[in-house]
Structure 1
Amino acid sequence: MTALLVAAGAAIGAPLRYLTDRLIQSRHDSVFPWGTFGVNLAGSALLGFLVALPADHAVMALAGTGFCGALTTYSTFSYETLRLAEDGARLAAAANVVVSIAGGLGAGACGVLLARAVGG
């Protein structure tokens, strides 16, 4: 049953990641991967929120592992960073690493704080 919940969450998260990435990236005329950055921050915030709530195995399988796991993308982040460096945009590559890691940690912390604020 857990595997089905993870798969169901991923079936929603993966297409949403792709569509959101394309929508965000189409609005920016720069080499910086704003789409991947945006979905990774959103997924980090949501996962932070979920882990701060009282544990429910089914919700975490569906929303945490499945949805957030498919929404966020470390592989695309890595690929885009490498592509930037290979294309000579070393400053953008370094910025992507720094702001993605700091932003992801910050977004996760904000999610935790929000869950604590609304959950009492």
Structure 2
Amino acid sequence: MTGVWLALGVALAGGIGAALRHLVDQLVPKGTRHAFPWGLFVVNLTGSFVLGILTGLALDDAVQAVLATGLLGGYTTFSSASLDTAKLLMARRFTAAVANAAGVMVAAIACAVAGILLGQSL
């Protein structure tokens, strides 16, 4: 798969990933307006874990592009995680804001490492 077909595959997979992100975010209970953003937290951790697995598997470049760049690029979201942190700050929920910002980064990296190790063992 090269050129236009690869770009179309990445685009299609990205759309599917974005739809999955929305679905997972909606399935996780919201709570109040200023509740901790658990939905996107779950999205970013699971996405990091699966991306780690794909990396550990050392897939073909085209398959990696469609799944990693497309599907998981559409699924995970750094910008939304940043926005959630900003909203928590503006609501003066400083502990939750720090927990979200640091938690997403630290936990996502841990999930990625675990995924890589799992992928390498398969």
CA–CA separation in structure 1 for the residues paired with 2:115 and 2:9: 22
**Tell me, which stretches of 5 or more residues in structure 1 are unaligned?**
none
**Tell me, which stretches of 5 or more residues in structure 2 are unaligned?**
none
Question: Alpha-carbon deviation of 1:8?
Answer: 1.4
CA–CA separation in structure 1 for the residues paired with 2:9 and 2:61: 10
Question: Alpha-carbon deviation of 1:55?
Answer: 3.3
Does 2:55 match 1:64?
no
Question: Alpha-carbon deviation of 1:2?
Answer: 1.8
Contact 1:50/1:64 (<8 A) preserved: yes
Question: Alpha-carbon deviation of 1:102?
Answer: 0.5
1:38 is matched with 42
The alignment covers a number of residue pairs equal to: 117
Question: Alpha-carbon deviation of 1:88?
Answer: 0.8
2:117 is matched with 113
Identity fraction in percent: 39
Q: What secondary structure is seen at the aligned counterpart in 2 of 1:88?
A: coil
Does 2:47 match 1:77?
no
Moved more, 53-62 or 89-98: 53-62
Contact 1:17/1:71 (<8 A) preserved: yes
Letter in 2 for 1:109: V
Deviations 1:3-48 (CA, angstroms, capped at 9, x unpaired): 111111112100110010111134x567110000000001000111
CA–CA separation in structure 1 for the residues paired with 2:88 and 2:40: 13
> Could you say what the CA RMSD is over the residues aligned between the two structures, in angstroms?
1.3
Q: TM-score, normalization: structure 2?
A: 0.90
Point out 4+ residue stretches in structure 1 off by more than 3 angstroms.
Answer: none
CA–CA separation in structure 1 for the residues paired with 2:108 and 2:97: 16
Contact 1:25/1:33 (<8 A) preserved: no
